[in-house]
Amino acid sequence: MIFHDLLQEMQAKEQKVSIPQGFQDYVSANNLKANTAASISIDSLKKLPKILRDQNTMVLRLGSRPASNQTYFSLVKTDDVKTFFFDDSSLFSQLQPELFLPNVSIRSLFAFQLLPKVTETSVVNLAIASGLMAEALNLEDDKTIVVPATGQSTFTFNFKPLANENVVLEHINGQVEIDAVFVAKRKGKEHLFVIEAKHGDKFDSLAKHKLLYPSLSLLQKLPSSMPIVPVYLRSIKTPNGIDFYIAECPYIVNQQDELYSLDTLIPCKMQALHLANY
């Protein structure tokens, strides 16, 4: 069990958050063998190692450090480890997807009907191109089709894993993937929408840092007048089309003295829409 010794050390020291350390150094010091990505790159609750689930503990990747080619990590203990995840059943199970009829030309959506299998990227593009995302997020009517940006790079930022603990973690030069980001107006004001998307055939879960990390990566590049709206999109293929479940989180703004916490990233609005024949 990879994290057994560290969990015992945290318990002995009464730590809620372990001191960041290099994963390969930790593995070597404890005579262990482990895959870095499988051990500390956790994107859903079911992928969290059982020993951590049983101890209500989350593992977080924290990038690298100067003169080090290994990935750093930290363990975070809480009363309920589910607080670090978006749980689809809790968020969406009471919603009945409403039929959404696109108010755009058949021509603009024709290419999506040719794809034998949709990917998470194409699902996001379909939601935006059809106007479904604008409907769900109450965006102002715009004749131009928003083209989302996507990509990955290394970013550095600080955050609090637990709001009620005076512990700040540094994510330094760590790779962050951004599924989709676009700018749109809402209530007359420009907002930056950051989308983390997951596609499948049933409900699952998503680690909250998969949405917070991209948001904080871009936040430092924005003026305080432009808020970021983190959005979790879960799409599910059905026999008649695609169900889109959208969970919007409270906006965050660039304030130098503001540190955002992972456990308080809680959706404030949920909606479900159905797009037929895709």
Instruction: State the virtual CA torsion across 108, 111, 117, 120 in degrees, nearest 10.
Output: -40
Dist. CA 7–CA 159, nearest whole Å: 22
Pairwise CA distance, residues 241 & 125, whole Å: 15
Nearest Cα to 65, choosing from 25, 97, 105, 96?
Answer: 25
Number of H helices, E strands in the chain: 9, 12
The count of residues in the chain is 278
| Residue 104 pLDDT | 84
Contact (Cβ atoms closer than 8 angstroms) between residue 258 and residue 222: no
Q: Is the pTM of this model over 0.85?
A: yes
- Lateral strand order in the sheet of 72-77: 21-22, 72-77, 57-61
Contact 203, 166 (CB under 8 A): no
DSSP letter for each residue of 68-136: --S-EEEEEE-S-GGGGEEEHHHHHTT--PEE----S-HHHHHHHHH-SS--HHHHHHHHHHTTHHHHH
Q: What is the pLDDT of residues 93-147, one digit of tens each?
A: 999 999 999 988 778 887 877 777 778 888 999 999 999 999 999 998 765 557 7
pLDDT value of position 142: 66
| Residue 154 one-letter amino acid | T
Q: What's the rounded Cα separation, in Å, for the pair 216 and 255?
A: 11
Asked if 236 and 203 count as a contact pair (C-beta separation under 8 A), the reply is yes
Phi, psi of 100 (to 5 degrees): -110, 125
Tokens 């951590």, located at residue: 52
Task: Give me the tens of pLDDT residue by residue for the chain, a chain 278 residues long.
Answer: 889 999 999 999 999 999 999 999 999 988 888 889 899 999 999 999 999 999 999 999 999 998 888 999 999 999 999 999 999 999 999 999 999 999 887 788 878 777 777 788 889 999 999 999 999 999 987 655 577 888 899 999 999 999 999 999 999 999 999 999 999 999 899 999 999 999 999 999 999 999 999 999 999 899 989 999 999 999 999 999 999 999 999 999 998 778 999 999 999 999 999 999 88
Q: Measure the CA–CA gap between 28 and 51, rounded to whole angstroms.
A: 19
pLDDT at 257: 73
Say how far apart CA 88 and CA 199 lie, in whole Å: 12
Q: How far, in Å, CA of 148 to CA of 79, rounded?
A: 37
Q: Find how far residue 126's CA is from the centre of its chain.
A: 19
Containing 244, the helix (H) or strand (E) segment is strand 241-248
- 153 burial (CB, 10 Å; 0-12 / 13-18 / 19+) is exposed
